[in-house]
Amino acid sequence: DAGVIQSPRHEVTEMGQEVTLRCKPISGHDYLFWYRQTMMRGLELLIYFNNNVPIDDSGMPEDRFSAKMPNASFSTLKIQPSEPRDSAVYFCASSQSAPGSQETQYFGPGTRLLVL
């Protein structure tokens, strides 16, 4: 398996523009997670899905952020409109089992977002 695939790897955009980040989880993994990482705040969980259904979105910072998982092999994280403070590295991860088990999450390479 190619692991978790994210695109694009880098994104530079201007404030106010819409940004869409994409993720393909590992085949057979029922859980998908979106994280954001910054120097100031470290790693933060934004939202996670189980079988394409959002389970916990309490980490989504505000209404400008939305995430979808239309099928088991694809998810998007959208920011509209984007702001400079959204600049960060966004990671997608997937796992076979629920968070309460001793599951291993496999992370993608991340998307480095810069909002000017």
Nearer residue to another protein within complex by CB, 88 or 93: 93
Q: Which is nearer to another protein, 48 or 65 (CB)?
A: 48
Partners of 47 in the β-ladder: 34
Task: Tell me if 56 contacts another protein by CB under 8 A.
Answer: yes
Residues 95 and 29: beta-carbon distance below 8 Å: yes
66-105 binders of another protein (CB under 8 A): 91, 93, 98-100, 102-105
Q: What's the half-sphere exposure (Cβ side, CA atoms, 13 Å) at 101?
A: 8
* Integer Cα distance of 51 and 70 in angstroms: 10
State which of residues 48, 79, 113, 115 lies at the interface with another protein (CB under 8 A).
Answer: 48
One residue of 45, 76, 78, 87 binding another protein per CB under 8 A:
45
- Tell me which stretch binds another protein (CB under 8 A): 16-24, 52-60, 68-76, 77-85: 52-60
Does position 55 interact with another protein (CB under 8 A)? The reply is: yes
DSSP line for 50-77: ETTEEEE-TT--STTEEEEEEETTEEEE
Greatest pairwise CA separation for the chain in angstroms: 41
Site residues for another protein per CB under 8 A: 4, 42-45, 48, 55-56, 58, 91, 93, 98-100, 102-110
